Every structure is written in C-alpha cells, then in structure tokens.
Structure 1
Amino acid sequence: MNAVLIYSGGLDSTVLLHHLHQAGNELAALSVNYGQRHSREIECARQQCARLGIEHRVADLRSLAPLLGANSLTDSAVDVPQGHYTEETMKATVVPNRNMIMLSVATGWAISRKSDCVAYAAHSGDHAIYPDCRREFAEALDAAIRLADWHEVHLYRPFVDWTKADIAKRGEELGVPFAETWSCYQGGEVHCGQCGTCIERREAFYLAEVDDPTPYAMEAPTVDQLVAQFWRLS
C-alpha cells in the first residue's frame, strides 16, 4: 500500500507510522501547522521520519487560525483546560473542522503522488469530545475523497476500533521510542501531566501495562489519582 499519513508527532500517529512502516508500506507523512500553541509535536514528527527514512512535509496553514474561533489550541487568550476528556471543559480544545481541513490537504498530496489512501490514527475514544472523529463523519468524508479525482484515494483508519491503551501496547510491540513523541497541549519543557491529552496518554500506558518514559511536571497528579478520577467520571 502507498499511503500519505496525517502525522502529528503524538503517540497515536507515531504508532501508526511505525505500524505501517513495519508492514512494508510506502509512506509519506504530512504534519499540519494550523496555528497551534507550539510546534513541539511537529519537531518530534520530523525526528521520527528522519529515523525511519520517510519523506516528511509540513503544511503551513497558520493563516487559518483567526478563522477558527476561540479555542485553547489556536487562541492564546483561551486557557488550556485541565482534566479528563470526558469533562465538559474539554470542548474548549475543539478546533472547528480540523480533521476535514487536514485530511483535505493530505488528499491533495495523495492524489498528486498517486497514493492509494490517506491514513490517520483516529481511535475509539476520540469521538467523545471531537465531532469530526465520529465514524459517521469519517465514512462520509471517505465517500467524498473517493470522488475527488479520477485517481481514487480512500481514507484508512486501522485504529478506529482500538482504545488508546491498545495503541500503546502495539507501540511497545513495535519498539516505538515513546519518549520522542509529544502529546501535551501546553508545549512546555516537559509534559504538564494535567491537560486532557496528557491524562489520556498517562492512562493509556497504565492500562496497557507499558512503561511510560515521559517526564511530567512536578505538580502533576499520580497515575493512581488519575485512574481513580476516571472511574468516578465514568
């Protein structure tokens, strides 16, 4: 298979990068700068692709940020909320139509490369907060992408029925260097350990029984505290 991968440099997409690479697929990776708070994850993406000898491009879409409203990922005036993704406050991290924007750009590149598909690492836990991670959205977008050109490209989501813990476990099997991935929305020197994506990352390692090599800020809660909070919210 010849694929263009939407590649953020985070845990999920890095595992997918290694998953597809190990299977012998021909890959190109696309990161998107849509005006997010920091570029730590894009730097991680560059390093991972260089390690594997995979072509990596960055689409500069920073001019779109003012059109995407008040959200904590592209608007510095909006604080990044702390806590689990299951909480109402996490809706502040929703960037309107982000997946369609990124996948549309990737589709253009895939068509020009005569690739078979655009791959991305959406998993079963994403839809709780992000409407553009729902299966219905992806199926509709897949149908549209197939009609975008005479060279048919489809949308590929091998992790759609996996949990994040499943993804972490697969990453361990593949020998993914997790310490060289970035999840935190804050973009500091180390992961904050308290924003939604940090908490989701920490719990994934815990539930998968995989060692987490990520350094977190000193004030971050323990994993046991996070898990106890998760079950209270469930």
Structure 2
Amino acid sequence: MKTAVVCSGGLDSVSLAHVLAAENSLTRLISFDYGQRHRKELDFAAACAARLGVPHHVIDLRSVGAALTGSALTDGLDVPDGHYAEETMRITVVPNRNAIMLTIAFGIAAAQGDDAVATAVHGGDHFIYPDCRPAFTEAFDAMQRAALDGYADVRLSTPFVHRSKADIVSAGAKAGTPFEQTWSCYKGGEVHCGRCGTCVERREAFDLAGVEDPTTYADPDFWRAAVAARGEA
C-alpha cells in the first residue's frame, strides 16, 4: 500500500514515517506552514524526508492560519506549563486544523496515486483535540471516500488512534527512529523547554515505554511534578 504521511516534524509523525518506511509503503511526507509560532518543526520534517528518501511537500497555509485566531500556536498567547491533559491546554487548539490539513493531503494523495493518507493522532490527543478522536477520523474517512468517489480510492490510516504516546515511542524505537531528530516543544526555543504540555507528555512517554530519551530539556525534571499533579487532580 502506497501511503503519504502528514508530518509535522514531531515525535509521533516522524515515528510513523519510519514505521511505514520500514514496511516499504511510505511514498511522501506532507507538511503545513500555517503560521505556527515557530517553523522549527518543519526543518525536522524536511530532515526526515531527506533521511527516508521521499518527496516532501510543504503547503503554505499562512493566510488560513492567520484567520484561525485564539490559539497559543498561532497568536502571541503564552503556552501554559503542565500536563498535556490539563484543561489549560485547550489554548493550544487550532480550530479545524486536522480537517483542513487532511483534506489537502487527500487531494495530493489522490493526484499522486497513493492508496492512503496516514496521520499519527493517538489516544493522548483525544481529551484536548476533537479532530484527533476516532469519531472524527472515521467520519472524515467516509467523507473523503464520497468526495473522491469514481476518481480515486484513498483511505485514512490512523494506526495509533487507540494507542498511547508510549506505544508510539516503542514502535518508533523498533523502526529505528532517531528521536533526537524530532521536535515537540510548543515554545520553539534552542532546546525543548521541558515544561509545556507536549514536552511533559513526550518525557513521560519515554519513561513509560522504557526507552532512553535523547532529548535535551531546559527543565528536565519538571515532568515528574506535572504528572504527579495530574494524578492528584
């Protein structure tokens, strides 16, 4: 099966790309510049495509992202510290982001003769992001089949949608993913901050998976307190 991967440059999507490359089904990476607060992650997506020897499509959605206001990822709002599953992390929601990106990815996949578009949404995303939940991905897959009916048969692949980030780390490690060549931090500093929700979730996932975390964090121990606080909530 020929599969395109929507790749942000983060741990999840880069791991998925490596898993599919190991299965000889990866055809391309598709990334999006939607005016996110830093472009650092796109450099990691480009490095992944070069490493795996596949085309890298970077779609300019900056004008669209400029209209999707109210998120800490597109506006000048502070990114909160704490566990990824905290209510405060809703400030990182970009309205309809996945639906917009996947629609474009499906068009590219259909035009290029791919059989599937894969996205690395996972169980840890469900609380915060409605467009990462199974109800959305199943409905979106059905919608795209109708949209491309008679032209192309492209399906949505979500191998991690019912799995944890720790499962992704395990799968990525098995596929030889160079985790140090992925970027998760929402703050986009010189190194991962270690305090924002996605840094905490990343560090926790390595610990749960029993895989050594090669990431450099500005605050490498904050995650323990954040996880403990979440457990007491």
Letter matched to residue 133 of structure 1:
C
Question: 2:112 is matched by which residue type in structure 1?
Answer: R
The residue identity in structure 2 corresponding to 1:4 is A
Work out whether residues 5 and 26 of structure 2, in 8 Å CA contact, stay in contact via their aligned partners in 1: no
1:189 alignment partner in structure 2: 190
Other structure's SS at 2:4 match:
strand
> Is the partner of 1:128 in helix, strand or coil?
coil
Q: CA deviation at 1:221?
A: 3.3
Letter in 2 for 1:213: P
The CA RMSD over aligned residues, in Å, is 1.2
**Equivalents in 1 of 2:224, 2:86: separation in Å?**
19
Alpha-carbon distance in structure 2 between the residues aligned to 1:196 and 1:227: 10
Which residue of structure 1 lines up, in the alignment, with residue 72 of structure 2? 72
Other-structure match for 1:198:
199
Contact 1:206 1:223 in 2 (8 A): no
Are the equivalent residues in 2 in contact too, given 1:184–1:197 (CA < 8 A)?
A: yes
Deviation at 1:49, TM superposition (A): 1.1
1 CA distance for matches of 2:61 and 2:224?
A: 39
TM-score by length of 2: 0.95
Structure 1 regions of 5+ residues with no counterpart?
A: none
User: Amino acid of the residue matched to residue 208 of structure 1?
Assistant: A
Q: Which runs of at least 4 in structure 1 moved beyond 3 Å after TM superposition?
A: 219-224
Tell me the residue number matched to 1:175. Answer: 176
- Structure 1 residue aligned with 2:80: 81
Determine the structure 2 residue equivalent to 1:56.
Answer: 56
Q: Report the AA paired with residue 50 of structure 1.
A: A
Q: Distance in 1 between matches of 2:35 and 2:68?
A: 10
Q: TM-score, normalised by structure 1?
A: 0.95
Paired with 1:156 and 1:92, the residues of 2 have a C-alpha distance of 27
Could you give the per-residue CA deviations for residues 151-210 of structure 1, whole angstroms, max 9, x where no partner exists?
121111111121100110111112211001000000010001011111110000011111
Counterparts in 2 of 1:26 and 1:202: CA distance versus 1, 3 Å: closer
**One-letter amino acid matched to 1:137:** F
Which secondary structure state, in structure 2, belongs to the residue aligned with residue 176 of structure 1?
A: coil
Cα offset, 1:86, TM superposition: 1.9
**Deviation by residue 1:76-132 (Cα, 9 ceiling, x = unmatched):** 2x1111111221111100000000011011011011011111110011111100011
Counterpart Cα distance in 2 of 1:21 and 1:188 = 30
Look up the equivalent residue of 2:183 and give its one-letter code: W
Q: Which residue of 2 aligns with 1:215?
A: 216
Matches for 1:17-56 after TM superposition, within 5 Å: 17-56=17-56
Q: Gaps (5+ residues) in structure 2?
A: none
Contact 1:85–1:128 (8 Å) recurs in 2: no
The letter for the 2-side match of 1:45 is A
- Compute the displacement of 1:226 (Å): 3.6
Q: Displacement, 1:55?
A: 0.9
Equivalent in the alignment of 1:91:
90
Report what 1:3 is aligned to: 3
Deviation string 1:199-224 (CA, Å, 9 cap, x unpaired) is 1100000111111110011x453443
User: Could you tell me how far 1:65 is from its partner in structure 2?
Assistant: 2.1
Distance 2:20 2:110 in 1: 19
Q: Secondary structure at the match of 2:36?
A: coil
Contact 2:166 2:209 in 1 (8 A): yes
